[in-house]
Structure 1
Amino acid sequence: MEKTKKQALLADLGLVAVAFVWGSGFVASKNALDSMSPMMLMAVRFTVAALLSGLIFRRSLKNISKETIKAGCVIGFFLFTAFAAQMIGLQYMLAGKQAFLTATNVIMVPFIYWAVKKQRPDQYNFVAAFIMLLGLALLTIDFSVGFSFNPGDALTVLCAFLYACHIVVVGIYSKQHDPIALTVIQLGFAAAVSLTYVFISGEFTLAIPVPGLLNGLYLGIFCTFLAFLGQTVAQRYTNSTHAAIILSLEAVFGSLLSILILGDNFTSLMFLGCLIIFIGIITAETKWAFLKPLFLKTKPENPEKITEI
């Protein structure tokens, strides 16, 4: 079916909504951590998302192969470890700051893929990596006390790396297995490991305050299940450049919402670091392809035949 302008517009609006919801997830996570441990929050989030996806896409799980289950568990491992690092790290830092640090995963992906598939990144990826390092320095280093790098910063950079690994393995396995089945399995794996951990560690509790429970449900339903589903559907009707630019707004929304809702205090250097990282993300994701039409000039085939009306 031919894509229409209306479908493309609706798809772009849908991606904006996804970016906004993902950005709001940093605020919801920060609020939820006031009521429960990071691993208990993950257990709530992934259990809700896994149950919803399993119920709605249960037909995709019929006659599933062992290879698909294994692939889904590998993807789920990276999903779980990435979010574990993120949730634990969020206890030590501003939500908006973490939003930008997490977004650096898009710059890491080509280099991880290079290591796995031996496909060298292009010049834009190398430029983006340099820009990212500059932005990271401004965003994370407290120059007033010297070169300090707090535990939250380190864990969030680890989260970005693990999520970049997650993106790479999804790209590899989704070409060999049913993507919907892989999604259900990875969410189920993350939920199972989270629940196992909180039971063994004694962190499991049903006595969760209502605000914390509501934030956890929001993360599971909107930021995990519906957001991933919305991204998949929307990207069928828009080009990858638009999708990359719009989804990169997740970091922007995360920072703005953390300032407006949580009252995060950003310094001028942190703002500059966020801006530089955003430029790096756009460079890696789009290679500035969206600017090319502005520099292309169309010339009439036979200028001499043009007359004034």
Structure 2
Amino acid sequence: MGKYIGEIMLFTTAIIWGSGFAFSAISLNYFTPYQILAVRFTIGVFILSLIFYQRLKNMKKSTIKRGFILGLLLYMAFLLQTVGLQYTTPSKNAFITAINVVIVPFIAFFMDKRKIDRFELSGAFLAIIGIAFLSLELSISEINLGDLLTLGCAFGFAYQIYYTAKYVKDEDPILLTVAQMGAAALFSWLFLFFKGEVEFALEWKGTLSVLYLGLFSTTLAYCFQTMAQKYTNETKTAIILSTEALWGMVFSIIILSEVLTGRMIVGAFLILTAIILAETKLDFLKGKSVKNIREIK
């Protein structure tokens, strides 16, 4: 039962992140990317601390240390993604970021010697192809600085997923999320002061959008991700979270009135196929084969 609860949480996280693309697009009209990161992580640590303040008494040094590592990885991933976006196209930025879904199983293999599941790996590559259909334009320009920075971002998110799976086995998921949010908020504000972007424009539309990112895309989503990774391995986590690209397409059509194309439909189909492949490992086909053999006998 825990396995299915974890996967439901991960799908919910992907849906929330998918909706966040539209709200990020709106909020960028009013705030700089660095201001958005600082606000969303600050909201995250504040809300979680307020709700679970009684649990904070049980915060261990190991939780703080591990949360600091996760927060650093999380912020560096967002920072590289944001800076990379200044030098490359949004479609390439989204696609290269999603490569983390393929990186994760190899990190687990090299770090823990964990056997790479061929169905999960196939699902990961299928997900990448599906995201390419959703994200990339028909013409792809040569590799530039932004692409390399975004690739660094993909590694950052991959390691964040890997270490979350590793740490959450021995830590309270809520406290680990609080520590992670606190560290990410700290790095966000330090970088914001370094950039000198401390003046905020308080327009209601932009403010509501960034509040949504803080409350849902950060607080709720990362809380769900950390809790869910107690029950699912890091590769399946990455594959399920990659569906944020699919949900991003859905919400862009609903909220931003984007037009649905045949390429988007193909991409959505490939991502869903990737999920089914990783989840079932073609058990239904194996069962059918066994049944047929018995009938022949």
Q: How high is the TM-score relative to the length of structure 1?
A: 0.74
Q: 2:185 is matched with which residue?
A: 191
Per-residue deviation, residues 62-100 of structure 1 (Å, max 9, x unmatched): 2533232111100111111122233444565447x7656
Aligned residue pair count = 290
Q: 2:295 is matched with which residue?
A: none
Q: 1:25 is matched with which residue?
A: 20
Return the match for 2:201 from 189, 204, 207. Answer: 207
Are 2:48 and 1:41 equivalent residues in the alignment? no
Contact 2:67 2:179 in 1 (8 A): yes
Q: 1:108 is matched with which residue?
A: 103
Q: Which runs of 5+ in 2 are unaligned?
A: 293-297
Structure 1 counterpart of 2:153, one-letter code: C
Any idea what SS the aligned residue of 2:202 has?
coil
Are 2:55 and 1:71 equivalent residues in the alignment? no
Structure 2 counterpart of 1:53, one-letter code: L
How many angstroms apart in 1 are the aligned matches of 2:144 and 2:258?
17
Q: How high is the TM-score relative to the length of structure 2?
A: 0.76
Once the two structures are TM-superposed, the CA of residue 172 in structure 1 deviates from its matched residue by 1.4
Once the two structures are TM-superposed, the CA of residue 254 in structure 1 deviates from its matched residue by 0.4
Once the two structures are TM-superposed, the CA of residue 209 in structure 1 deviates from its matched residue by 2.2
Once the two structures are TM-superposed, the CA of residue 15 in structure 1 deviates from its matched residue by 6.0
Structure 1 counterpart of 2:201, one-letter code: A
Q: 1:169 is matched with which residue?
A: 163
How many angstroms apart in 2 are the aligned matches of 1:242 and 1:121?
11
Q: 1:302 is matched with which residue?
A: none
Structure 2 counterpart of 1:175, one-letter code: K
Once the two structures are TM-superposed, the CA of residue 196 in structure 1 deviates from its matched residue by 1.3
Identity of paired residues, percent?
A: 39
Are 2:202 and 1:221 equivalent residues in the alignment? no
How many angstroms apart in 2 are the aligned matches of 1:20 and 1:140?
17
How many angstroms apart in 1 are the aligned matches of 2:191 and 2:61?
25
Q: 2:246 is matched with which residue?
A: 252
Bigger radius of gyration among the two: 1
How many angstroms apart in 2 are the aligned matches of 1:32 and 1:26?
10
Per-residue deviation, residues 158-206 of structure 1 (Å, max 9, x unmatched): 3332111001111112223322211100000101110111122211123
Once the two structures are TM-superposed, the CA of residue 233 in structure 1 deviates from its matched residue by 6.8
How many angstroms apart in 2 are the aligned matches of 1:15 and 1:222?
13
Once the two structures are TM-superposed, the CA of residue 292 in structure 1 deviates from its matched residue by 4.9
Per-residue deviation, residues 89-148 of structure 1 (Å, max 9, x unmatched): 4565447x765654442332111111211223122344345546655766676664x653
Contact 1:128 1:281 in 2 (8 A): yes
How many angstroms apart in 2 are the aligned matches of 1:58 and 1:239?
27
Cα root mean square deviation, aligned: 4.0
Once the two structures are TM-superposed, the CA of residue 212 in structure 1 deviates from its matched residue by 1.6
Q: 1:288 is matched with which residue?
A: 281
Q: Which runs of 5+ in 1 are unaligned?
A: 300-309
